Structure 1
Amino acid sequence: MPFAFYDLETTGRSAAFDHPLQFAAIHTDDDFNVLETVNLRCRLSPHVLPSPGALAVTGVSLDQITDPALPNWFEMMGEIRGIIERWSPSTWTGFNSLRFDDPMMRQSFFQTLQPQIYAMQFDGNTRLDVLPIMYAVHVLKPECFTWPLNGDGRLSFKLEDLAAANGFEDHIAHDALGDVRATIHLLDQVRARAPAVYTQFLQNRDKQHVHDLLRSGHPVQLIERFGGPPRSVIGVGCGFDANYASRGIVLDLARIDPRDLAAASVEDLVRLIGQSPKVVKPVKTNATPAVFALDDADPMIADRAAYVSSNVELQDRMGRAMAQHYAETYPPPGPDEEIKVENRIYDGFYSPADKDHLLRFQSCGTWEARVTLLDGFEDDRLHQLAIRMLFLERPDLLSEHMRSTASANLLARWTDDDAPKNGWSTFTSVEAELQEKETSGDLDALQVAELREFYADRRRRLEAIAAAG
């Protein structure tokens, strides 16, 4: 299957409340020969305060992100959708993409009213992330690569460090196209130096393959990393989340004898899942996990795995416990709690009628025509997002009252000092970040002053529109 290597540069780190400014991708055959290269940019959406840290890292100027000659966010995401359709089926591959780029893409598809937010997973497409592949190589074949250290003498798994230490020269870091080329180089080196790891990850693109491995009762090796060096967990599949079939469960057999769980209730298992160090590991089977069959397990591990494999009732209890654990960890909002539309992305699939209406909304060509389509959505999320998109791109097509109300709501968001962690940027948060970046030397005094004026001007403009109503 061909590969589609891609990377984003964004306004910040929140998938729900930031957006891509640059999308770069290289389509290759399965030997990494380049078939097509794309490099797209869009201008800053009016509803987002870009993070000063993101601007400092990417090095883009305010003139670049506000260039009126660039397409808007809506237009760029529509072009990306067309590229995905043209390149399908492919393996969409990035570096830390499953944690960052992939959720950002889903949110951008959702918020710009694209008909399919899972475009990188449908129509035969699969996903691959080179960062967990590098974790696995470090554990299983460490001699195959040079492992760089950061300024504190600790292992660095940054793309620019790994690529440079292993033969990739002239890397333009934090430019999306430069990062794509570095990612291709690293995966090509894995294929050459650690072919068994490479082959296993290609197999793990198939969700059913991972399901079968976890159901097999065969001991497995799960590679993970939380801050320190990557580590290996020796365990066995022990059921699946009762509410989410794509979340498998691995029991760490080096830390616990499953026979000790014979009389454990679901509530006992919920507590076990929450304890530290973790002995119960969730595994997303549809996210190309770093899980491998272990062919040389010692007799104790093999015996414990056989016990779990034969104990369907334990697996069932563990599945119910995992579902309860997630329900308690991420409880649904209360009846009076406001839910931002961005956080409703997973509230349900669109109806066939709404998918058809989205296609009309995308293809009709003018914002004047899109105004006539606002009331045609069954899903209230889509109606809300369509109005917002019109406010962002053609506010003149909305009534003065609607413009004023939307501006007041956005101003309230930007001045909300109780914004959630990993939420949207506010005037308070960007000022704190400006001070931090000036102190660290990431931004000089002139850059900081320019950014302060930029944020102040955005506030003045929004206050004027809000006051007009």
Structure 2
Amino acid sequence: MGFVFFDTETTGLRHGFDQIVHFAAIRTDNDLNETDRFEVRSRLLPHVVPHPSALLTNRLPIERLTDSTLPSHYDMVRAVQRTLLTWSPSIFVGYNSIRFDEEMLRHALFQTLHPAYLTSNNGNCRADALGLMMAAATLSPACLLVPLGPEGRPIFRLDHLASANDLTHDQAHDAMADVAATLGLCRLVRERAPELWQRFIRFSKKATVGDFVESEDGFFLTEFFSNQAYHAPVVCLGPDPDQPNGRLCLRLDVPPEELAAMSDEALQVYLAAKPSPVRRLRINASPTLTAFYDAPDLMLNGADIDELEDRARRLKEDAAFRSRIISLYASVREPYAPSLHVEGQIYDGFVGPDDQRRIADFHDVSWSEALSIVRDLDDERLRIFGRRLIYFGGRSVLPNELRLVVERDLTDRLVDSAAGNFTLQQALEETEKLSNGDGVDADGILPGYRTYLIDRISRVTEFRAKEFAAEIG
């Protein structure tokens, strides 16, 4: 199986509310030789307000995002989806992609009525090169040069890491340049730490991770916080009752018999500690795992492997106690709070089979036929997104009352923070803060963005007063 290295540039950091404006990918064979590449840009969606910090980071003037010659967001996502399906099955790799780029891609697909889990389905696997680099710096430090910040802490920013390892990266935060840098770093690890690379590939597969954590008596789970790797000896307790791909693991610092002797109240207090002795991993998120017998001295930190294995084995053999821990932990952790906004509801349920067939047809029919399909959808989330797509691409087919519903929905997101989006006024305030602060704007992006925002606020205010005058009256 080959690889697809990819990256996105976006209008901000909020999954579902911000949008992708530049997508790039390089396809390679199993030996990381490039076989194809693809990139596409998009113009700004009418209801999305870029964060000025994102424009500065990506060096994107607002004039570029509003260029009418660019593809629409819908056309961009269609092109991305077609290309990635053609390249499937593959292992999809990005830099901090599991937490960010994968999420942005899922939301983009979902909001344009495509199956959201493209990189997890279709025979694909996914992995994150940021975790690989952090693991390499800890477990095979000779294979990478990791720059240090003023306080002596390692820096894993892609541009800094690429530069320190003599990889050309002249256009940091350009999607294709970031993809090439990620690929270059992975080639270094593959060449200099082949065992670590093979483990990276192995645990990109959801089924392999599931089998490993369930069959091993215990193992080391490596987690990364503030660019530091933390290695914990753990045993898998069982599935997370709230997340099918989640697995709950317990640190092995305390002998099981001491925990078993605690009252429920005392055990709840123990489990609710910060950081919690219960660690959660996702089998579909390429976790960093190490078998006890593969753990180097740095990871063991003086621990006795025989004692760790014995504790893990006793916990594995006591199903009732493991169930008790899971139940008590679930009772003390913060419950999932569903989003009030459709942009944040992607994980509130899978799309049903009937709707899957309908949204597949949506892309191959006229706008009037698409409207009929949207009306038949069972999933309210899809109906909202479908109406938006029709409004952007063929609004003349929308009945007047439905057009007004969509316009109210979209313009609310520009002016009302309660609607969930980053508003025009918030963007103007942030732009003025950055303009008056110590931020660097070598490209002169902020003045143009400020002018755009002031004009847009005026036009949206005028539009709403005119369109919704009857409601106000």
What's the TM-score once normalised by structure 2's chain length? 0.90
Which structure 2 residues correspond to residues 46-445 of structure 1 after superposition, within 5 A?
Answer: 46-114=46-114, 116-253=115-252, 255-264=253-262, 269-295=267-293, 297-325=304-332, 328-332=334-338, 339-364=340-365, 366-417=366-417, 424-438=421-435, 439-443=437-441
- Asked whether the equivalents of residues 235 and 250 of structure 2 are also in contact (C-alpha less than 8 Å), the reply is yes
How far apart are 1:417 and its partner, in Å? 4.5
Q: Which residue of 1 aligns with 2:450?
A: 452
Other structure's SS at 2:18 match:
coil
In structure 2, the gaps of 5 or more residues are 296-303, 469-473
- Asked whether the equivalents of residues 272 and 329 of structure 2 are also in contact (C-alpha less than 8 Å), the reply is no
> CA–CA distance in 1 between the matches of 2:445 and 2:104?
27
Partner deviation per Cα, 1:247-297 (whole Å, 9 max, x = no partner): 1122222x3222222145666555433311332110111111011111165
Q: Alpha carbons of 1:356 and 1:266: their partners in 2 closer, same or farther (altered >3 Å)?
A: farther
How far apart are 1:448 and its partner, in Å? 2.6
Q: Which residue of 1 aligns with 2:7?
A: 7
How far apart are 1:345 and its partner, in Å? 1.2
Identity between Structure 1 and Structure 2 (%): 32
Other structure's SS at 1:329 match:
coil
> CA–CA distance in 2 between the matches of 1:109 and 1:143?
40
> CA–CA distance in 1 between the matches of 2:241 and 2:85?
33
What is the identity, as a one-letter code, of the residue corresponding to 1:5? Answer: F
What is the identity, as a one-letter code, of the residue corresponding to 2:283? Answer: T
- Asked whether the equivalents of residues 11 and 51 of structure 2 are also in contact (C-alpha less than 8 Å), the reply is yes
How far apart are 1:180 and its partner, in Å? 0.3
In structure 1, the gaps of 5 or more residues are 334-338
Other structure's SS at 2:247 match:
strand
Partner deviation per Cα, 1:180-200 (whole Å, 9 max, x = no partner): 000001111111111121111
Partner deviation per Cα, 1:277-321 (whole Å, 9 max, x = no partner): 332110111111011111165332222122212221122223334
> CA–CA distance in 2 between the matches of 1:414 and 1:266?
49
Q: Alpha carbons of 1:150 and 1:236: their partners in 2 closer, same or farther (altered >3 Å)?
A: same
How far apart are 1:377 and its partner, in Å? 1.4
Q: CA RMSD in A?
A: 2.2
- Asked whether the equivalents of residues 256 and 279 of structure 1 are also in contact (C-alpha less than 8 Å), the reply is no
Q: Alpha carbons of 1:34 and 1:109: their partners in 2 closer, same or farther (altered >3 Å)?
A: same
Q: Alpha carbons of 1:362 and 1:66: their partners in 2 closer, same or farther (altered >3 Å)?
A: same
Q: Alpha carbons of 1:447 and 1:176: their partners in 2 closer, same or farther (altered >3 Å)?
A: closer
> CA–CA distance in 2 between the matches of 1:267 and 1:16?
39
Q: How many positions carry a matched residue from both structures?
A: 457
Partner deviation per Cα, 1:304-358 (whole Å, 9 max, x = no partner): 12221222112222333444445x432457xxxxx21112212222222212211
Q: Which residue of 2 aligns with 1:336?
A: none
How far apart are 1:369 and its partner, in Å? 4.2
How far apart are 1:399 and its partner, in Å? 4.1
Q: Alpha carbons of 1:267 and 1:400: their partners in 2 closer, same or farther (altered >3 Å)?
A: farther
Q: Which residue of 1 aligns with 2:301?
A: none
Other structure's SS at 1:373 match:
helix
Structure 1 stretch displaced more, 302-311 or 78-87: 302-311
